[in-house]
Amino acid sequence: MGRLLRRLGLSVAGAALALAVGCGLVSERRPEAAPSAEADALARSLAAAVDADAWARTGAVRFVFRGKNAWLWDRAKGRARLRAGDREILFRTHDRTGVAFEDGRPLSGEALDDALAGAWKAFCNDTFWLNPLVKLFDDGTQRALVATETGVALLVTYGSGGVTPGDAYLWHVGPDGRPTAWQMWVQILPVGGVRMTWEGWQTLETGAVVSTLHKGAIADLALTEVAGRATLDELEPGAFDRLAPR
């Protein structure tokens, strides 16, 4: 299984590289800039533009990532549910423990461990796309200003956290204070500086604002069926009844 996964990983990376070359993408060197108080001020402005305070009051969120991963996230109690294909996985985000089902049958042993590990990686990626603007001041982050042809951009580097520490994002800001695009220097992509838009802004019932559409040269990425409420009971009561409290 390990060899198979490694082969699949190499195949995916090779396909991504071939696609990038086919699209005419040229890798850009990540800009270098020193952290500053001015960068922190811009980061706070970006967070305010999507109402980070309202996000803090959003206790439960539901969305579908790229038409495949259907998520329910109980932010208030640190629980998540992933439905993908014939699998349903419910886990605690603080220790990554939980239960998983395939065609309604519970998984156990190595199959359960693999399902939980895969769900955690998907959770880190998918929820980050949902609202990274509230993570600009996470532990281990650095913020710096970068001058571009269209104005000043915010470079955010994640030194820890998630599953790919060291990733960096350059946020381009529009006249309304919201981002219009970002460029990525991330481990999962073989090309540096890939640009994707931030658009399709949606305001949740709590007042938090999230982007649901990202267009890029390699592919487009959409978040659909996005909903957020103050509590899980308002959104989907009883969803985690099969996940025993700890």
The mean of the pLDDT values for the chain is: 89
Asked whether residue 134 is assigned to any structural domain, the reply reads yes
For the chain, what's the residue count? Answer: 246
Asked whether residue 47 is assigned to any structural domain, the reply reads yes
Asked whether residue 40 is assigned to any structural domain, the reply reads yes
Reported as a single tens digit per residue, the pLDDT across 29-40 is 999 999 999 999
The per-residue pLDDT for 167 is: 92
Which tokens go with 110? 């190595």
Q: Report the predicted TM-score, pTM, of the whole model to 2 decimal places.
A: 0.85
Q: Please say whether the beta carbons of 142 and 159 come within 8 A.
A: yes
Q: Please say whether the beta carbons of 158 and 48 come within 8 A.
A: no
Which tokens go with 46? 């970006």
Asked whether residue 244 is assigned to any structural domain, the reply reads no
23 has pLDDT over 60:
no
Asked whether residue 15 is assigned to any structural domain, the reply reads yes
Q: Residue 189: pLDDT band by 50, 70, 90 thresholds?
A: confident
Asked whether residue 206 is assigned to any structural domain, the reply reads yes
Asked whether residue 243 is assigned to any structural domain, the reply reads no
Number of domains composing the chain: 1
Chain CA centroid to CA 176, Å: 23
Distance CA 183, CA 26 (A): 13
Domain that holds residue 142: 2-235
Asked whether residue 241 is assigned to any structural domain, the reply reads no
Reported as a single tens digit per residue, the pLDDT across 39-65 is 999 999 999 999 999 999 999 999 999
Reported as a single tens digit per residue, the pLDDT across 62-112 is 999 999 999 999 999 999 999 999 999 999 999 999 999 999 999 999 999
